[in-house]
C-alpha cells in the first residue's frame, strides 16, 4: 500500500542512484573507485522498482553507466571523475529560449519557433597519462507550434520538434607534452581545434540527428573522443609528465 516497499528499496540505494531516481540528476566529483558502488546500485534498479515515476531514464543504463566504465578504465586509482547528469529532459522551462514568430501562409497561421538546449551529460576525468578529458553531450531541440485550418474549416493546434545531438570532447594535455599532427584527417562530421602553448588543448566536436539513448550514442561519443588522442604519440603525455 502506498508503494511502501519500493520507497524502502529506494531509501537503500546509493545516494547518487537515489538522486537519479527521485530528482533525475546529480552533480558530483568522486575518486575513480568510488563510482563502482554507484554502478552496482543502478544495476539492481529494475529488480525492485516498478512504479513509472521512479524508473530510471533510459540514458542512465544506456549511456551514463557505459561512459563511467570507459573513463574509469583510463584513469589512475587516485584520479577524480566529475559527472553532472540531468535526466529531466529538454521540456524544463530554463532550458528553453524565447519564442519567435515566423512568417506563414494559409492554411497555417500563428507559426512560432524556439530552441531548447539540454546539456544532459558532462564528465571530466583525470587520466593516467596526466591529461584531463572533458565530455559534454547536449540535445539541441527545435520546436514549432502553429494553427492549421483543415478543409472543413476546423482549426487545430499542431506542434513539431527536431533534435540534434552535439558532442564536444576536450583534452587538456600536461605541460610541455609532445604534440604531432595525425597522418590522416578526421571524419567529415568531426571538427577538431588545437590550441597550442605550454599546455595544449585539443577539442573535437560532432553533431548528428537524435535523440539516441543507447549503445549507438556511446559509439559516437567514443568516435569523437578518439580525435584528441590522435594528436599525441602513444604514451608521450605520460612520459613527458614524469620528467
Mean pLDDT split into 10-residue runs, the chain, 243 residues: 84 97 98 97 94 94 97 95 97 95 92 97 96 97 94 90 96 91 92 91 94 87 95 65 45
Q: Which cell is 198 given?
A: 605550454
Q: Are 87 and 24 in contact (CB under 8 A)?
A: yes
In the DSSP assignment, the letter for residue 57 is: P
Beta carbons of 104 and 146 less than 8 angstroms apart: yes
Could you check whether the bond before residue 46 is cis, i.e. omega within 30 degrees of 0? no
The pTM (predicted TM-score) of the whole model is 0.89
All 3 cell numbers of residue 178?
609532445
- Tell me if 141 sits within 8 A of 149, measured CB to CB: no
Instruction: Quote the pLDDT of residue 241.
Output: 45
Can you give the pLDDT at residue 243? 45
pLDDT for the residue 3: 85
Amino acid at each position: 500500500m502506498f508503494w511502501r516497499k519500493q520507497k524502502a528499496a529506494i531509501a537503500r540505494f546509493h545516494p547518487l542512484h537515489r538522486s537519479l531516481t527521485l530528482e533525475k540528476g546529480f552533480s558530483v566529483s568522486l575518486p575513480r573507485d568510488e563510482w563502482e558502488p554507484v554502478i552496482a546500485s543502478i544495476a539492481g534498479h529494475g529488480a525492485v522498482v516498478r512504479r513509472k515515476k521512479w524508473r530510471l531514464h533510459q540514458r542512465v543504463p544506456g549511456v551514463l553507466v557505459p561512459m563511467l566504465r570507459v573513463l574509469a578504465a583510463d584513469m589512475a586509482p587516485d584520479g577524480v571523475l566529475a559527472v553532472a547528469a540531468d535526466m529531466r529532459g529538454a521540456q524544463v522551462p530554463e532550458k528553453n529560449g524565447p519564442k519567435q514568430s515566423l512568417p506563414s501562409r494559409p492554411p497555417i497561421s500563428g507559426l512560432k519557433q524556439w530552441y531548447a538546449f539540454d546539456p544532459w551529460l558532462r564528465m571530466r576525468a583525470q587520466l593516467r597519462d596526466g591529461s584531463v578529458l572533458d565530455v559534454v553531450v547536449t540535445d539541441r531541440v527545435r520546436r514549432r507550434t502553429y494553427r492549421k485550418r483543415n478543409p472543413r474549416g476546423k482549426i487545430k493546434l499542431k506542434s513539431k520538434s527536431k533534435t540534434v545531438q552535439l558532442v564536444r570532447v576536450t583534452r587538456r594535455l600536461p605541460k610541455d607534452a609532445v604534440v604531432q599532427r595525425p597522418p590522416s584527417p578526421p571524419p567529415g562530421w568531426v571538427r577538431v581545434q588545437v590550441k597550442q602553448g605550454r599546455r595544449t588543448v585539443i577539442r573535437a566536436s560532432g553533431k548528428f540527428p537524435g535523440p539516441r539513448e543507447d549503445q549507438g550514442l556511446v559509439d559516437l561519443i567514443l568516435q569523437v573522443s578518439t580525435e584528441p588522442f590522435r594528436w599525441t604519440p602513444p604514451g608521450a603525455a605520460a612520459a613527458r609528465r614524469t620528467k
